Amino acid sequence: MLVKIEDGFYLNSQHIIAIRVSKSTSDGHFIVVIEYTPNNIQAMGTYQKTFDNKIEAETYLQTLHQYISK
């Protein structure tokens, strides 16, 4: 199933390897990194999205989880 990461960027849910969340100590932003395998299993891609606060990051993660769970 395709998961909408953002407008115009979709991933097959089977290709998502990991989702990592961290908080920047310098500016307090939350960083969500999605690791995925493109068509070639030998390679790995990453997608990074930055959020200004915890609520925005949590909302994005909840939406992402809903797409993956379908």
Kindly report, residue by residue over 11-70, the tens digit of the pLDDT: 888 888 899 999 999 999 999 999 998 776 678 899 999 999 999 999 999 999 998 887
Cα-based angle 6, 10, 15 (whole degrees, multiple of 5): 125
Alpha helices in the chain (DSSP H): 54-69
Q: Based on the structure, what is the number of domains in the chain?
A: 1
pLDDT at 26: 95
First to last CA, the chain: 8
pLDDT at 14: 85
pLDDT at 34: 94
Residue-range definition of the domain harbouring residue 54: 2-69
Q: Which residues contact 11 (CB under 8 A, 6 or more apart)?
A: 2, 3, 5, 34, 36, 47
